[in-house]
Amino acid sequence: MQAVNKVVILGGGSAGWMTAAALATVLKNNYAEIVLVESQNIGTVSVGEATIPQIALFNSILGIDENEFVRETHATFKLGIEFANWKQKGHSYMHPFGSFGTDMDAIQFHHYWLKMFQKGEASDLDAYSLAAVAAKQGRFMRPENRGNSPLSKIAYAFHFDATLYAKYLRKIAVSRGVKRIEAKMEDVCIRDTDGFIDSLVLDNGQVVNGDLFIDCSGFNGLLIEKTLDSGFEDWSHWLPCDSAIAMPCLAKNNVYPYTISTAQEAGWTWRIPLQHRIGNGYVFPSRFVDTQKAIDVLIQQMESEPLNEPNILRWKTGIRKKSWVKNCVAIGLSAGFIEPLESTGLHLIQAGIAKLLGMFPHQGFEQIDIDTYNQQTKLEMERIRDFIILHYVATQREDTEFWRYCKNMPIPDYLRHKIDLYKANGRIYRQDAELFNETSWLAVMHGQGIRTKGYHPLVDTLSEAEIRSRLEHIKQVIDNSANVMPTQAAYIEKYCKAMSQNSALNLSGLELQ
Amino acid sequence: MTDTVAIKKVKVISGKHSALAGWYTAAMAAYALKDTEIAVFHVASDEEPVFSHGSLALQADVLLALQNLGLTESALVNHARAMPFLANKYMGWQGKKHVAFAGLAKTGVPLGGVNFVHYLARLRNETNNLNWRAELFSLNTICALVGTFAMPSGDPRSILSSLEYGLRVDAKLLCNLLKQVALELGKGSELHADAFDTEDQFSGRETITLDCRVSKEPTCKMLLDTFLIETSGLKESVPRVNNLSNEYECTDDGYVERQYVSGRQYVRKFFSRRFTKENKSLSGPFNECSEILLAPNTHDVWQHSLNTIYLFETGVHQLLDNGGLGYRTQQLNTLWPLLSGVNSSTLAANFFNRKSAERYRYWYDLALLPVFLCDRKDSEFWQLKAKLIEAEDLEYAISFYQRTGVFPQLEHYPADLGLIENTLLAFDKYPNASDPLSLAVEIGDLERKLTMLKQQIEQTAMQLPQFK
Amino acid sequence: MFKAPEHQLKNIVILGGGTAGWMTAAALSKLLSPEFFSITLVESDAIGTVGVGEATLPHLRFFNQRLGIDESEFIKATNATIKAGIEFSNWGNIGDTYIHPFGDYGKPIKNVAFHHYFFARKKYNNQLKLDDYSLPVVACKNSKFNFPTSDPGLLTSSYSYAYHIDAGLYAQYLRTFSEQKGTTRIEGKVNSVSLRKSDGSISGLKLDDGTIVNGDFFVDCSGFKGRLIEQSLKAGYEDWSHWLPCDRAIAVQSEHNGRPLPYTKAIARDAGWQWQIPLKHRMGNGYVYASQYINEENALKTLLANLPGNQTSEPNYLKFVTGKRKSSWLKNCVAIGLSSGFLEPLESTSIYLIQAAIMKLVELLPQRENMAVKSTEYNRYFSNEMDKIRDFLILHYHATSREDTPFWTLCKHLKIPPSLEEKMELYKEIGVIEDYQYGLFLTPSWLAVYNGQGVIPSYSDIRVNETTLAHADTYMLTLFTDIQQAVARMPTNEQIVSRLHDNITCNVKLQLNQAAQFSLYGRK
């Protein structure tokens, strides 16, 4: 069967350039020509972007020097997310990366902790997570090989400027042979024999033929939807937020290595710290909050004056029924959209790329490959969706119509089962290739105030005293470990400080010329 | 087919307003049937005829038919005051100052097998210079403008071969000539009677009646339903005008047509009763004045059961500068071969009616062309015009011409639409696209070629003698 | 150097390299300036063309002249012979034969069509033959030919001529011609066609080897299947097989006696008709038949039993459905040739329809935008051509006395199109033939077939009587004698053909390349 000779990527945001950079790296030895079509006249959605630790894998595939990457994208490090006002007004909890405590005798740590917590004899959960403790203290370091110490298992991600990230990846991709075409797509040509995409017609008159097309055109899905009529499954009844405004400001407070998500009367705001500024945003349901109100609320809660006019985004939460149709794979927003509450945007792109590489076609395009890809994508999205819904449904707030709606809305069966299972005996199972692990579910279920009736019976094989001392020991080790970590500011200064804001702007100005 | 009765008589009927039509039909019939046993009668009105066209502007189609009847050009000049014309002049149709000529002959000369207009359109589009007008490339329009005339040359290499002319004749005098011809040619006798009271005299299947009268009860309204006629020049005080164009001047409620026949001016004013309540007198002294109502005849032209053919002395033909003689000529030429065995079946009548309807559509379009093209919106009449006029084929032909520079091939339109094309150009309806084949000439080269042609036409026109 | 406007077409792609494809390529590359247009033709050696021996109409001369093709060169290159008409045998009745000439019958006398006088006289003298009043018919019957003269006053200018050619050789000739004029030929078979999502127009072709051929405008010369117009654009097909029931043809070559006749032969058979097209060295033969009435084996048997000489090629089998493409120009694709519809070659119209389509396309060559304005008019034009030819072809089958086979019984009792019915009735009753303003076959052709197949008007023109007939008698006698004498002076067709192919003398050259008319009948 003939190989795919030419891959055409439509759209040059994070999705487009991540895909281009990855393909350019993997399809080596002139395996296939890669073309990316983008227009500077079409804005990208990129705002300050938070990620999850899986990004490291992607960076390593590309062979990226992490310090350079942090510098170029004005990144800071991220150890988790703090959720404020979600369970109740005035309450907050941490969803840290990495694990809580350590498993003992093949039984998960949290069962031992639950037993003691129920007795009122254990600290709250955060105390057993190095990430949570360090984050709160503004400390950060990358893991170092220190044997059993939690310091060797530090899981981290980044906050970075997505526009700079796309630019950075573009540099890499182009240096690895990706051909960039500056143009707007005007039309698509379809093969009459099988309905496959044959080529894109650009506004400069050029016709770009290809064997495989990657649709990174954003919400609209110019290829996957407007051309191939994939269809869309609407999830907005579960996740009613459909709008966001984003505005950066200068950092006034300490730049701590975590994202803050603060629940509002309807929806939530984010605070994503970068090296030189803070990304702020408000994700809200337009049915409950009008845009001007949202802007007012955000500005009022920001720590300093906004640097830009608000960037307003609208979407519909849900998934493309098929993200791979014929010879077109949708990656990024074109494949579906889930609000960035758990920073899953870039991860979904990366996961899409990984699956595409796993299922990379030849010109025969086996339907079973395509079906498998679509099944996997759907599963992955649904699990993430359920995890996000958890944040809303497991609230104790009833102070606004929005929260009353969330608290009482019917939820997907999988989520219901997961909550019920936890409520019974604190058990958490990770199914299939589910993204969020036991730690995440635990952090959020407990953080949102879900309490269990019991715990794993085998915990009782150990005496209470034994458990008490072990928990105390773990907490101690974590405190000690945190104490040896430098502050994030110091760490960045040492390894990966971006050039000053002004010079960075100049530099990008030069590049544009 | 056993009940077939051979035609023995052709009876032409005309009325007060249709004497010319009646005698033209009678003369044509007498000529066509002269070697047969068929008798041609003309039942004309006793009343003093009214010539709703003081004059007629005749082109090749009618002139040829008249020539067959023995009415040569010199006969027309000597006995019907015939005077040539070269163009139609339009005034005030596209704004008050609009003056434009549409010549009778094709504009320009084809270059490299491509119609001249494509080059002209290209030059206008590419140089954005709208002073390149079609009128500059027609010997007809330039001669009409400067008042010079010569007989066209038969030598295709001479620029004079591009000249084409028609003749304007006095309608009353032409009628007299036709009457003489009819009486000489035919065995027909002239019968004077009130035409509407003679229905029974010639009944019977062996007679076919050609009814030329204005229909008594118009069945539907037309946009322009009235006209006034006037002839000037009989009085000494009016200077003789030798104008080589027929003039069409746009008015608030219709238009005025002026034709010149050897020094006399014949004026007709067309308007709609809907918008004009009183008779507005025309400029100049009146010699004759009459008001005529227009309405189309909508039933079948050939009523088989009545053995009668209505030849439409009403309707749109009154708007035509040839008084409908072009249409009548076509109709009669179609009719003669159909007269064999006509009483046996409706076949011939159906065929004739189909052809008549098709042709009427063309003449209707031609008659209303300037009204259709006029883009005035400053009076009630012109505002409502667009809604009242129906010309589907014309609309298609014009829009297609403007998009492409060629006319669609419509079966019932003549192949040569030169005069329509010239009229479109006079109304600034230039094609906005040109034949890709015209790209073969470089634009500067084209400009030079056209400049030369323009100069050559100008010089020729100036050198010709003034028409007297 | 000057630039074509942006909205101008640039790349024209022709799919298919048969007669239609190469005629289109030749015309476009000759007539369109190479600075602005690029012409590409995609063809596959693996796909056979239908090109058999082909009979043409006089219009082909007009086409060749527009392209600047030298007539003697063309004749040599295509093994051509000359034709001045078509001979129809066994159509009206078994044993009847007549010639449909490229010329007319007499002139009107006192504004009355000639045939009225002829029929009036024939009523009393059954020996009179209409054939005797047509120069090309008399010449054909005597196997004679000479080139028409150009003086419109002379009898010898009153007819035209066409050729029998080897269509394959013509395509080859035009290929060389087109390639010299800048046409790019790409060898390959279409794998898929790409259509624009926005308007469904064609963007490009992908060939089996992966080659991509993009274009602004496409000409579908892919033959009966209509790879672009039908398979991609779904133009639809108007089926005429209830009027023209033949749906198969078998073609085979044979030797002939070395003396080619100056006309094509169309011989009616039990379930269709057989053609004989004499080329210089061989005869093209074929049997067009209705598969409902005869099977392939028997059809082949019939054909082989009626060859004029030894069979020299394997039989070539063709299948078709008579009819026309509902829109032969759809979006940015125009179908030319069999892709635009199929009418059996009974009146040698295939190549005429190709050239008419090409010339109309050149006249209406569109710009990128608003093609619909032009395609509407083009389709109206082409549809009209097809409809009128269709009526004329149906006439041949319907105007018959034959009821000796089920096929002919069917044809005789066929429910014909209303347009043809009106036309035939008018003629049958009063001898009137309505001429088309736009149409290929005019009064002389209809008269030839009516008369040749025994349709006689019931009534003469009312103006025909003893007085006018006396004039007519004189005219007819003169015409009869003039024709006899003119034909007597003509060389045999065999001589003409050998002159054209062997040594073309200056004398012959002078007669070639005379300005051709776009008409069947020579000068009017």
Q: Where does residue A503 rank: exposed (0-12), middle (13-18), buried (19+ CB within 10 A)?
A: exposed
Residue extents of the structural domains in chain A: 6-75+160-232+317-383
ipTM of the complex: 0.90
Q: Side chain identity at A475, as an amino acid letter?
A: K
Strand, coil or helix: C253: strand
Q: Which residue has the tokens 């008779």?
A: B279
Which of B36, B333, B415 shows the shortest C-beta gap to C462?
A: B36
At residue B196, the pLDDT reads 47
Which residues of chain C neighbour A201 with C-beta distances below 8 Å?
A: 196, 203
- Is residue C315 a contact partner of residue C361, using CB atoms and an 8 Å limit? no
**DSSP, residue by residue, A315-328:** ---EEES-SEETTE
Q: How far apart are CA A41 and CA C240, in angstroms?
A: 54
User: Average pLDDT, stretch C431-437?
Assistant: 91
Q: How confident is the model at residue C515 (pLDDT cuts 50, 70, 90)?
A: confident
What is the Cα–Cα distance from B40 to B232, expressed in whole angstroms?
36
C191 touches chain A (CB under 8 A): yes
| pLDDT tens per residue across span A355-399 | 999 999 998 899 999 999 999 999 999 999 999 999 999 999 999
Q: Do A189 and C196 touch (CB under 8 A)?
A: yes
Q: Classify B220 in phi/psi space as left (phi over 0), alpha (psi -120 to 50) or beta.
A: beta
Is the confidence at residue C386, as pLDDT, over 50? yes
Q: How far is CA B466 from CA B145, B264, B462, B463, in A?
A: 11, 18, 9, 9
A188, A191, A226 member nearest C193 (Cβ): A191
Q: Is A78 among the residues known to form the active site?
A: yes
A268-317 per-position pLDDT tens digit: 999 999 998 899 999 999 999 999 999 999 999 999 999 888 989 999 99
Residue with tokens 């309707």: B315
Parallel, antiparallel, or unpaired: how do β-strands B87-91 and B245-251 relate? parallel
- Residue range A6-75+160-232+317-383 in CATH 3.50.50.60: yes
Option in B333, B345, B406 nearest C429 (CB): B345
- Which has the minimum average pLDDT: B151-160, B429-438, C272-281, C426-435? B429-438
Quote the crossing angle between the two packed helices A367-393 and A401-408, to the nearest 10°: 120
A330, pLDDT greater than 80: yes
| Chain C residues with beta carbon closer than 8 angstroms to that of A207 | 203-204, 214
Best of A35, A192, A229 to disrupt the C interface (most C CBs within 10 Å) is A192
- Cα dist from C37 to A47, A68, C185, C365, whole Å: 48, 52, 15, 11
Indicate the pLDDT class of residue C2, thresholds 50, 70 and 90. very low
Contact A209 C212 (CB under 8 A): yes
CB-CB neighbors (< 8 A) of C32 in chain B: 436-437
Give the chains touching C; criterion: ≥3 Cβ pairs < 8 Å: A, B
With a CB cutoff of 8 Å and minimum separation 6, the contacts of B59 are B104, B166, B322, B326
Query: Within 13 Å and on the Cβ side, how many CA atoms surround C223?
Result: 14
Query: Going residue by residue through chain B (468 aa), what tens digit of pLDDT does each one get?
Result: 345 667 888 999 888 878 898 999 999 999 998 888 888 888 888 788 877 777 899 999 999 999 999 999 999 999 999 999 999 999 999 888 889 999 999 998 877 778 899 999 989 988 889 899 999 999 999 999 999 999 998 888 888 999 999 999 999 999 999 999 998 887 655 555 444 444 545 457 788 899 888 765 555 556 666 666 666 555 444 455 678 999 999 988 888 888 888 878 888 888 776 776 665 555 444 444 455 555 555 667 888 888 888 876 556 777 788 888 998 999 999 999 998 865 667 888 999 999 988 888 898 889 889 999 998 888 888 888 877 777 889 999 999 999 888 899 998 898 889 899 999 999 999 998 777 777 778 889 999 999 999 999 999 999 999 887
Which of C192, C199, C214 faces A192 most closely, judged by CB atoms? Answer: C192
The single residue listed with the structure tokens 């019991």 is A454
CB-based contact C196 A188, cutoff 8 Å: yes
Please tell me the predicted confidence (pLDDT) of residue C318. 92
Q: Which residues contact C488 (CB under 8 A, 6 or more apart)?
A: none
| Mean pLDDT of the C224-253 span | 96
Beta pairing, strands A33-38 & A179-182:
parallel
Q: What is the pLDDT of residue B395?
A: 92
Q: What is the C-alpha end-to-end distance of chain C, expressed in Å?
A: 44
Distance of alpha carbon A78 from alpha carbon A51, whole angstroms: 8
Q: Which residues of C are catalytic?
A: 83
Contact check, Cβ <8 Å, C194/A191: yes
Contact C429 B409 (CB under 8 A): no
**Residue C364, pLDDT above cutoff 60:** yes
- Is C7 in the A-facing interface, judged by CB distances under 8 Å? no
pLDDT the model gives residue B216: 54
Q: Tell which residue, B376, B405, B128, B136, has the closest CA to residue B275.
A: B376
Q: Which of A203, A230, A227, A9 is nearest to C198 (CA)?
A: A227
Pull the structure tokens for residue A405: 């709606």
Please judge whether B1 and C460 are an interchain contact, meaning their C-beta atoms are less than 8 angstroms apart: no
Question: HSE (CB half, 13 Å, CA atoms) of B136?
Answer: 11
CB pairs under 8 A between A and C: 58
In contact, B246 and B411? CB cutoff 8 Å = no
Distance from CA of A32 to the nearest CA of C (A): 14
**Strand A328-330 to strand A324-325: parallel, antiparallel, or no bridges (unpaired)?**
antiparallel
Which residue in the list A78, A87, A322, A355 is annotated as catalytic? A78
**Each residue's pLDDT tens digit, A33-88:** 999 999 987 766 555 588 999 998 899 999 999 999 999 999 999 999 999 999 99
**Torsion-angle region of residue C234: left (phi > 0), alpha (psi -120 to 50) or beta?**
left
